[in-house]
Amino acid sequence: MTKVLVPFDFSEQAQNALDLATNLSNKFDNVVITVLHVIEVPSNSGMGTMGGEPIAEYENQIFFIELMNRRKEQFKEMESKYAGKNYALVTKIVLGNAFQNISSAILDEDPDLVVMGSKGSSGIEEVLVGSNTEKVVRTAHCPVLTVKGQTNPESFKKIVFASDFKEDQDELANRVKTLQKWFDADLYLVVINTPGSFETTRESALRIKAFANKYNIEHAIAEIYNSQSEEEGIVEFAEDINADLIAMATHGRTGLSHFFTGSIAEDVVNHAKRPVWTFKTN
């Protein structure tokens, strides 16, 4: 791991993400952490920052100039605070829509990991709006690690990897093995059994065993957990074993397919109290 991207909005959640990223980067050599701050600029589309061209002369408004100067000063202080560490920390300020600029940064900088803070949401807010974190989880081509509270990666000794283990997942499996190796953790391979997709314990256990054998996964514990839904089961199982990290794939659904079926990974990111590591597969 050499490049980490941390979207940063100066919130408590963002600071938690930065703390996790810096603590994690101490485990490696020559890591560069890019801290990205997006100043959202109103557009003339009538939809705020949802699209359209930025309002003319906005950047000349006194409150914008004051905000920009304040952010630059805060980033100077941050760079000074993190100077001389085992990693390099650089800061970047861009203008526009937060999600669009984070997505562009992921494409341009090609980080090995994105670390983001999340406070979650529920009900109508979750359905209609969602968070930038959930959108990044759905679309990023690199792993995304989301965190909601202060977290020390040295404590990641129990990792839950939830999957159906039905498909060949070479890249995902290799990334999960690397994740396990980073933290010298036990890996819990769990299938969530739901009323709508019931199968016998024997069937699930044989599939997990075949997966572990195929990818030479060590220190793995096979588990089958019964719940009303996949998302609830993953969160509940992680709570029951007091897991330190949840790892899973997201399929990056968009549009109507995403609206009607939802993304289990996004739901887990939204509702789990624990850090969640996700990786988008095809």
pLDDT tens profile 27-60: 888 999 999 999 887 655 444 444 445 545 666 6
Same structural domain for residues 128 and 232?
no
72, 111, 101, 245 alpha-carbon torsion, rounded to 10°? -90
- Say what the pLDDT of residue 64 is: 81
Same structural domain for residues 28 and 135?
yes
Same structural domain for residues 67 and 186?
no
Strand 31-39 relative to strand 3-7: parallel, antiparallel, unpaired?
parallel
Cα separation, 275 vs 282, whole angstroms:
23
For 60-69, which contacts have Cβ atoms below 8 Å and span 24 or more sequence positions?
64/39, 67/39, 68/39, 68/93
Same structural domain for residues 106 and 19?
yes
Same structural domain for residues 120 and 169?
no
The tokens describing 33, both together, are 């952490």
129 pLDDT more than 60: no
Same structural domain for residues 10 and 74?
yes
Picking from 147, 166, 195, the residue at the C-terminal end of a domain is 147
pLDDT tens track for 160-214: 999 989 877 899 999 999 999 999 999 999 999 999 888 899 999 999 999 999 9
Picking from 147, 170, 198, the residue at the C-terminal end of a domain is 147
- As a whole number, mean pLDDT of residues 20-33 equals 92
- As a whole number, mean pLDDT of residues 120-127 equals 42
122 pLDDT more than 50: no
The tokens describing 112, both together, are 């090995």
Same structural domain for residues 202 and 228?
yes
Q: Give the phi and the psi of residue 94 in degrees, each rounded to 5.
A: -130, 165
Same structural domain for residues 245 and 172?
yes
Same structural domain for residues 93 and 142?
yes
Same structural domain for residues 212 and 86?
no
Same structural domain for residues 44 and 123?
yes
Cα separation, 141 vs 282, whole angstroms:
10
- Domain range spanning residue 32? 3-147
- As a whole number, mean pLDDT of residues 133-147 equals 91
- Say what the pLDDT of residue 252 is: 57
Q: What percent of the chain has pLDDT over 70?
A: 85
**Smallest Cα–Cα separation from 135: which of 269, 275, 271, 274?**
269
Query: Total structural domains in the chain?
Result: 2
